[in-house]
Structure 1
Amino acid sequence: MGKKRKHAESEPTEPSKKDESAPERPKRTLLGWKHKVDEESEQNDADSARFRNKEKVLATCSRRIVFRYRHLMLNVVSLLPHCKKDNKVESKESKGATLNELVELKSCSSCLFFECRKQKDLYLWMSKCPNGPSVKFLVNAVHTMEELKLTGNHLKGSRPILTFSSNFDKDPHWKLLKEMITQAHYWLVSQFLKTNLMAIECSLEQLGLANQFAMIFGTPKDHRKAKPYHDHVFVFSIVDDHIWFRNYQISAPHNSTDKVDRGGLDKMTLVEVGPRFCLNPIKIFGGSFGGPTLYENPFYISPNQIRAMEKKQKAGKFVKKVKAKTRRKMHEQLNPLEPDEFSDLWKEQ
């Protein structure tokens, strides 16, 4: 039997010293970290202070709409990645409350309502829900993408560049429409209303605007369905007190020899994509789909009045024919023909 090996005496281990230079890790509970780091809190404060556009647009139409106008609505929805399409709504007097409720249910902030009447006339409501303002347009000269068949083609979901003619800065109501189409902050709109709409006696509290006014045709920067670059242009121009809309693709050569330098616009061209339509403003309201009237177009003539005038002109032709017949009868009665002396010559005796 060999001798048992003696076990070496185990040296006592010294407790590990904490590194005083490293920051102490915050305690964690079931609900998360108990004490957040100061840097994270500062970063969150900076993120909260930064403005984020969360604009969402609800697009819908009225019942008994014509297929051309429905195709126009679908073209507009395809151009706006931050737009949602909903079912048709009955065009009644209570449509404003219904649309405001739909916008709230769909978590949207603006609404585009295509209202068709008599299967002939198309009206477009552009509203900031639920407090307003809202604008009512008459849509003329409608040409959809399927009708035009143009050569322009841009990527679906890309962000557009909005351009406006210089006429938008002349009158107050055009400035208001420009701000409704694009984005404006609270202080900008309040300053605009105080300076330009004083004659209308409309204040910012009556309009009930939130931190931003509206951004309907401009796609938000960080939207999940939007592409992070621009390759087409939305053009809004005023001609004869009407707003004309055009959509153009920004075409640039992709060859290595003809490659466009940064900031070089000489080789860029615009190719029209579509659709085309013309907006005739009727009224601007202080609320959503109603409220106090801020502006009324004095040159607006309803399509019913135009059709009535055309019918009167057509009816005037018929009235002229009837009057001519009565004049002819009166002339024949006043001027009877003399008896012919040869009238009985060939009669059989």
Structure 2
Amino acid sequence: MASVYRSLSGTKSKEGATSEKGNDDRPKNRQRLLILSSRGVTYRHRHLLSDLYSLLPHSRKDAKLDTKTHLNQLNELADLYNCNNVMFFETRKGKDLYVWLSKPPNGPTIKFHCQNVHTMEELNFTGNCLKGSRSILSFDKTFDGQAHTRVIKEMFTHVFGVPQSSRKVKPFVDHVMAFTMTEGKIWIRCYQIIETEASKKDKSSSDSTTTTTTPTLKTPSSTGHGETNISLIEVGPRFVLTPIVILEGSFGGPVIYENREFVSPNQIRSDLRRKKAGRYNSRAEGALEAKVRKRDLGLRTGEGRRTVDELDSRRVFA
């Protein structure tokens, strides 16, 4: 069966591959990814990590890291497991998720704030891509506009791009990972590629104006028996990344980019608490001023002096 598969797929045997090994000068994509998290992750963050691990066959999952301050230990872990990419999930206060992407041992390192996390099990979409298959990376043209966005795009290419020579990869490309940048945030979506042969009803309906829920594309069939409709169905997961800083080294070094518009969730919660406290203080001060005003007018019994009017009964009938 192996010879039949090689003859149909067009691959060469080991003898032929070794004979032409010296003539093959194409660069090989040798990327391995280490995925791990810190202590205190929630169930949603843990399921997101599992979803990414299932979508990336060139990744390796490790146990939780005990420290949040000495992140340079991740370089030693990556060297131990022979990985040249690291994805680290750091959780703060059991609610805020930060994603670190690094290229050990020389860097760079990008820190993101992860929001709007929705896992595959939670979304329950109808799309279902093959486990271990490769993906097509689709980037928005906004990534080519600035220097730091080009660095982010290159990092995403190394982390999410599954190499063809990976050990667990299967020879199929059946899903697309889309990266879209709007308002300084990166929206990540995953879609399954579905190919169906166009029937006569589809050809007749294509002549009339109709609306479809999923984008479709007509391409000539590889078997030569007509056209095929290519559509995309979302698989999941969904999450949004906000870049914070880019470091020159691997989990350290000088800062080469900093997002000045980013506001930490701790600051947002502090402002909300201060706003609520301000409303309470204003109400308390208003109540105190009302009491003082009533006391000055003599409307409170036993407090303040009440001025006696000339027409008061105590003066008229004195």
Give the TM-score of the pair, scaled to structure 2: 0.79
Give the C-alpha shift of residue 260 in structure 1.
5.7
Matches within 5 A, 1:181-200: 181-182=156-157
Give me the whole-angstrom Cα distance separating, in 2, the residues matched to 1:246 and 1:41. 40
SS in 2 for 1:73: helix
Cross-structure match for 2:20: 43
Query: Is the alpha carbon distance of 1:266 and 1:43 closer, same or farther for their aligned partners in structure 2, counting shifts above 3 Å?
Result: closer
Query: Is the alpha carbon distance of 1:227 and 1:256 closer, same or farther for their aligned partners in structure 2, counting shifts above 3 Å?
Result: farther
Give the C-alpha shift of residue 107 in structure 1.
0.9
SS in 2 for 1:287: coil
- Report the structure number with the largest CA radius of gyration: 1
Alignment root-mean-square deviation, CA: 2.4
Give the C-alpha shift of residue 292 in structure 1.
1.1
SS in 2 for 1:175: helix
Q: Does 1:216 align with 2:216?
A: no
- Where does the alignment leave 5 or more consecutive residues of structure 1 unmatched? 1-38, 183-214, 343-349
Matches within 5 A, 1:28-39: none
Give the C-alpha shift of residue 316 in structure 1.
1.7
Give the TM-score of the pair, scaled to structure 1: 0.72
Give 1:330's match in structure 2, choosing from 273, 289, 292: 292
Cα deviation 1:226-262 (Å, max 9, x = unaligned): 1212111000000110000000011121588779624
Give the C-alpha shift of residue 266 in structure 1.
7.0
The residue type equivalent to 1:139 in the other structure is C
Query: Is the alpha carbon distance of 1:266 and 1:253 closer, same or farther for their aligned partners in structure 2, counting shifts above 3 Å?
Result: closer
- Where does the alignment leave 5 or more consecutive residues of structure 2 unmatched? 1-15, 203-217, 300-305, 314-318
Percent identity between matched residues is 45
Give the C-alpha shift of residue 181 in structure 1.
1.2
Query: Is the alpha carbon distance of 1:256 and 1:224 closer, same or farther for their aligned partners in structure 2, counting shifts above 3 Å?
Result: farther
Give me the whole-angstrom Cα distance separating, in 1, the residues matched to 2:154 and 2:262. 22
The residue type equivalent to 1:321 in the other structure is R
Give me the whole-angstrom Cα distance separating, in 1, the residues matched to 2:227 and 2:108. 38
Give me the whole-angstrom Cα distance separating, in 2, the residues matched to 1:266 and 1:310. 54
Cross-structure match for 2:64: 88
Q: Does 1:294 align with 2:271?
A: no
Give the C-alpha shift of residue 146 in structure 1.
1.1
Cross-structure match for 1:317: 279
Q: Does 1:148 align with 2:123?
A: yes
Q: Does 1:261 align with 2:249?
A: no
Give me the whole-angstrom Cα distance separating, in 2, the residues matched to 1:327 and 1:71. 54
Give me the whole-angstrom Cα distance separating, in 1, the residues matched to 2:162 and 2:286. 64
Give me the whole-angstrom Cα distance separating, in 2, the residues matched to 1:235 and 1:140. 17
Give the C-alpha shift of residue 269 in structure 1.
1.0
Give the C-alpha shift of residue 40 in structure 1.
9.4
Query: Is the alpha carbon distance of 1:254 and 1:156 closer, same or farther for their aligned partners in structure 2, counting shifts above 3 Å?
Result: farther
Give me the whole-angstrom Cα distance separating, in 1, the residues matched to 2:220 and 2:170. 22
Give the C-alpha shift of residue 225 in structure 1.
1.1
Cα deviation 1:283-326 (Å, max 9, x = unaligned): 00110011111100011111110000111111122112211211
Cross-structure match for 2:46: 70
Give me the whole-angstrom Cα distance separating, in 1, the residues matched to 2:191 and 2:18. 44
**4+ residue segments displaced more than 4 Å:** 39-42, 254-260, 263-266
Asked whether the equivalents of residues 162 and 218 of structure 1 are also in contact (C-alpha less than 8 Å), the reply is: yes
